């Protein structure tokens, strides 16, 4: 069988710039044994089947570049606004850091500098600065553009909706982040898995299944429906604060591939994780990130990696209310493969 997963950016690379060789000395991550149970086992053949069964290609027209963001209708946005009772907002974003750590400075160094420097004295002359960082940094909450992942069809590399993956030094020609709309308002539903299990965080490589998501729905008294933003908290940031950084991109809790039909059926518009969405290792032999592959290329479902879900978990827990309004604006990076996710949850 042909290789199914072909990614625009390297899959395993989460390390400080210049320290990639450290990966060679890491122990190989162990697949969670439950992922091999017959009731949830996902094979490459099943993934290939889902490429057709779960596809949204042409659903919103042959020229569509927004995918499941189309499910966020004006009526959905108005209904979300009616969820605001207290007027309390918290950020769902997490920004980059200049920290030299295994989960930062990914794919490019993070730099911040003052730009108005006196050439003679070296003193800062005025409050002007600049910054550079990777849009896929391991500490940056970012929404992937739908051109980020690709597949092969008849010897050609294509992305969602059958577009060719046209890339050059300026970025993506189609399905780039600047083609995916100005921003959105909709209902957010938080799935707080550590709370459900009575632990501060999920241990690395812990998979989340449909049964877990539906158990959460019963606990929280909510039902995930079309146009929702689904935010899945694993406790990555809580663990990091207590125990320090680790290579969560190789050993992280997250969704198992068996949830893919459920995501399509429920009409999830955006999927947010505090890690990389996919449980790592994935448990699908031969495919590193099946959640990324199927959602982005075939369902057209944008993903947010590295969302900060600690504050929203606190506010939701205090209110015993895990649905709220979510709003965000897309940074129109020309041809960009991602945008910083500067979203707010408002209760």
List pLDDT tens digits, range 71-105: 999 999 999 999 999 999 999 999 999 999 999 99
Assess whether pLDDT exceeds 60 at residue 271: yes
Distances (CA, A) of 157 to 7, 162, 298: 10, 9, 13
Contact 255, 279 (CB under 8 A): yes
| CA 208 from centroid of its chain's CA atoms | 15
- pLDDT on residue 25: 52
Calpha distance 230→273 (Å, rounded): 9
Radius of gyration of the chain (CA): 20
Assess whether pLDDT exceeds 60 at residue 6: no
CATH, domain range 6-10+34-94+141-346: 3.50.30
Calpha distance 140→44 (Å, rounded): 30
Query: How does residue 199 score in pLDDT terms, banded at 50, 70 and 90?
Result: very high
- pLDDT on residue 28: 84
Q: What is the mean pLDDT of the chain?
A: 93
Average pLDDT over every residue of 301-326:
98
- pLDDT on residue 5: 37
Among 22-26, 202-206, 304-308, where is mean pLDDT lowest? 22-26
Q: Which of 97, 100, 137 is nearest to 22 (CA)?
A: 100
Q: Which of 293, 299, 79, 300 is nearest to 188 (CA)?
A: 79
Predicted structure pTM score: 0.91
Tokens (6 digits) for 148: 């980020």
Residue 144: in which H helix or E strand, if any? strand 142-144
Calpha distance 117→47 (Å, rounded): 55
Query: How does residue 26 score in pLDDT terms, banded at 50, 70 and 90?
Result: low
- pLDDT on residue 40: 97
- pLDDT on residue 4: 37
- pLDDT on residue 14: 32
- pLDDT on residue 27: 76
Query: Quick one: 123 exposed, middle or buried, by C-beta within 10 A (0-12, 13-18, 19+)?
Result: exposed
Query: How does residue 12 score in pLDDT terms, banded at 50, 70 and 90?
Result: very low
Average pLDDT over every residue of 323-346:
97
Assess whether pLDDT exceeds 70 at residue 11: no
Calpha distance 160→267 (Å, rounded): 17
Query: How does residue 18 score in pLDDT terms, banded at 50, 70 and 90?
Result: very low
- Helices marked H in 54-133: 74-81
Per-residue pLDDT tens over the stretch 121-142: 999 999 999 999 999 999 999 9
- Kindly provide the residue ranges of all beta strands, DSSP E only, lying in 193-322, ordered along the sequence: 207-208, 229-233, 254-255, 270-273, 303-305
Calpha distance 254→280 (Å, rounded): 7
Calpha distance 179→72 (Å, rounded): 16
Q: Per DSSP, what are the bridge partners of residue 7?
A: 149
Residue count of the chain? 347
The one-character DSSP state at 211 is: H
Tokens (6 digits) for 109: 């160094």
Tokens (6 digits) for 3: 């290789």
Contact 32, 43 (CB under 8 A): no
Residue found under tokens 């949204």? 56
Assess whether pLDDT exceeds 60 at residue 297: yes
């Amino acid at each position: 069988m042909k290789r199914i997963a072909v990614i625009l950016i390297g899959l395993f690379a989460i390390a400080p710039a210049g320290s990639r060789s450290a990966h060679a000395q890491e122990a190989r991550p162990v697949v969670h044994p439950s992922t091999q149970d017959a009731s949830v086992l996902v094979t490459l053949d099943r993934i290939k089947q889902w490429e057709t069964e779960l596809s949204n290609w042409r659903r919103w027209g042959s020229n569509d570049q927004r995918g499941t963001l189309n499910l966020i209708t004006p009526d959905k946005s108005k209904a979300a606004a009616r969820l605001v009772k207290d007027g309390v907002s918290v950020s769902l974003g997490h920004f980059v850091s200049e920290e030299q750590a295994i989960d930062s400075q990914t794919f490019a160094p993070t730099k911040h500098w003052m730009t108005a420097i006196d050439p003679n004295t070296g003193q800062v002359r005025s409050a002007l600065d600049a910054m550079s960082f990777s849009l896929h940094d391991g500490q940056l909450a970012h929404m992937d553009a739908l051109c980020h992942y690709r597949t092969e069809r008849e010897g050609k590399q294509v992305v969602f909706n059958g577009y060719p993956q046209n890339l050059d030094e300026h970025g993506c020609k189609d399905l780039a982040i600047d083609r995916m709309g100005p921003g959105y308002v909709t209902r957010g539903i938080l799935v707080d898995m550590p709370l459900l299990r009575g632990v501060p965080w999920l241990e690395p490589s812990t998979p989340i299944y449909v049964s877990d998501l539906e158990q959460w729905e019963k606990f929280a008294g909510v039902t995930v429906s079309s146009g929702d933003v689904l935010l899945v908290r694993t406790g990555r940031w809580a663990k990091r604060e207590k125990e320090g950084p680790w290579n969560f991109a190789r050993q992280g809790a997250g969704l198992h591939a068996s949830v893919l039909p459920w995501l399509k059926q429920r009409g999830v518009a955006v999927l947010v994780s505090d890690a990389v969405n996919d449980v790592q290792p994935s448990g699908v032999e031969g495919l590193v990130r099946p959640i990324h592959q199927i959602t982005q290329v075939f369902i057209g479902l944008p993903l947010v990696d590295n969302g900060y879900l600690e504050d929203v978990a606190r506010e939701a827990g205090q209110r015993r209310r895990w649905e709220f309004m979510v709003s965000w604006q897309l940074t129109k990076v020309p041809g960009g493969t991602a945008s910083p996710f500067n979203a707010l949850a408002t209760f």
